Each structure stands twice: as structure tokens, then as C-alpha cells.
Amino acid sequence: MDFTGKTILVTGAGKGIGRAIAKLAAARGASVVAMTRTAADLESLEAEIGCRSIVVDLSDAAATRAAAREAMPVDYLVNNAGTTALDSVLDVSAETFDLLYAVNTRAPLILAQEYAKDRIAKGLGGAIVNVSSISSFIGFADHAAYCASKGALDAMTRVMANELGRKGIRVNAVNPTVTLTPMAVKAWSDPDKAGGMLSRIPLGRFAEPDEVAEVILYLLGDGAAMVNGVTMPVDGGFMSD
């Protein structure tokens, strides 16, 4: 996969999976537009790969739309930024629910709108990958708002694939299992919980950020030219157990 001459917008590029995507895309020749909340992360990424940086809080709809417009034009979009909270159905607050929905679901919609309008206006096709989670398929205890936000992201991916596919823009999701990033450390630091999860993964380990990034770049590239509307587990076989 060679992305020379192509520009890829990656949200949440400061840390974890997003940073891995940005670095792998740059190594494959792409120009990266890196969008995230913490400016220091983007400064260090810029020093590593020479990306263009946009700082924004994706929980703010108006700021997200302005940042998306600033980022255009790009050839591909990866909606990776996400946030989590550990609350049960009984305890989750409306504020937490709204925040996770805003970052994990609404921001990808706004970015996809601005990306797709630009591509369609220019008569160009394209590809979007939304970074979802196996949490969209499974009712993990204490992930009420997170599971809901990712389930909605999968549903929206299918609507986008249907509508935008007709304009030559493919839209897919990847659904990783626990991937060893700062977010995973926050959610899976309890050894009992981690052990229970690992025992359900036939390959016997959690994912590395690069292993998720590889699948995302595959879905963006021409090798996946006929793939549209999938929600692809990157889970070591968790979903087949």
C-alpha cells in the first residue's frame, strides 16, 4: 500500500491508535493532517512525521465543523478520536452519555459531512474509516455510554456506506478488541477483568496499535475498492469464540 501523493486526515492522532495510524500512513508516503485536543502531542508528532496539525475539542460541534473545514481538502478520512467512561447503566449520568456521544458519534458525522461535501463537489470518490470497537457488539458491564456510542457509530457507518457509496465514497468501520494504548490502560487495568477478557481471545493477547492501523490503511486503500459498509473486528477471534 503506497499512499504517496495522498493526504489522510486522522482525528485523535496525538496518542494511541491514532498516532500509530498517522505514523504508518506517513511511512507509506501519505501527507497527514493530524487533529486532536492536546497541542503538545501534535507538536511531537509534527517533529516525527512532518504532519499538518489542527487542535480542536471534538466534543464541541461548532468547533469540530470549523476544524473539519480547515482540514479540507484531504483524500481520506479516519475518524479515530474517542473517549470512554466506566459507568454502569444504573449510574451513568446524562452529561457522560452526551459527552461520549458527542466525541465518539457526532464528531465523526460532522467530519464525514465536511469531507464528503468537498469530495462530491469536486466529482471525486474517497474513503472513510470510522474507528469503532467490539463494544458495539457486546454488552460489556460498566461501559453503558461507550457501548451505546460505538453501536450508534456502526449504524451510522452503514447509512454512510449506503448514501455516500453511491457517490463513490466508501465508508467502513474497524472494531478492535482491547488495544494497548492509554485508553486501554484506563479501562482494563484490573487484572481480573483483563484475564477474563484475554481468555475469550483465541489468539491469547490484546492488539497492538500498529495491528489496528494496518487494517485501517487497508480499508482506505484501493485493495479494498469493493469493501463498503463493513464493521470489521480486529479482535484475535473474540467474536468467533
Chain residues that interact with ligand NDP, rule: CB under 6 A:
12, 14-18, 36-38, 41, 56-59, 80-83, 103, 131, 133, 176, 178-179, 181-184
DSSP helix, strand, coil percent of the chain (3-state; round to 5) = 50, 15, 35
| 93 CA to centre of own chain | 24
DSSP assigned state of 10: E
* Cα separation values, 131 from 18, 66, 89, 213, 220, Å: 9, 21, 23, 10, 12
Residue 66 or 120 with smaller CB distance to ligand NDP: 66
Catalytic residues: 146, 150
Closest separation in Å from C-beta 114 to ligand NDP: 16
Q: Which is nearer to ligand NDP, 4 or 240 (CB)?
A: 240
Sheet of strand 52-55: strand arrangement: 52-55, 31-36, 7-11, 76-79, 126-131, 169-176, 231-234
What are the C-alpha distances in Å from 205 to residues 162, 173, 208?
Answer: 34, 22, 9
For residue 219, count other CB atoms closer than 10 A to its CB.
24
Distance in Å, CB of 162 to ligand NDP, minimum: 22
**Whole-number Å distance between alpha carbons of 234 and 86:** 22
CB of 136 to ligand NDP, least distance (A): 9
Name which of 24 and 131 has its Cβ closer to ligand NDP: 131
CB of 99 vs ligand NDP, minimal distance in Å: 8
Residue 111 Cβ vs ligand NDP, minimum distance, rounded to whole Å: 11
| Cα distance between the two ends of the chain | 31
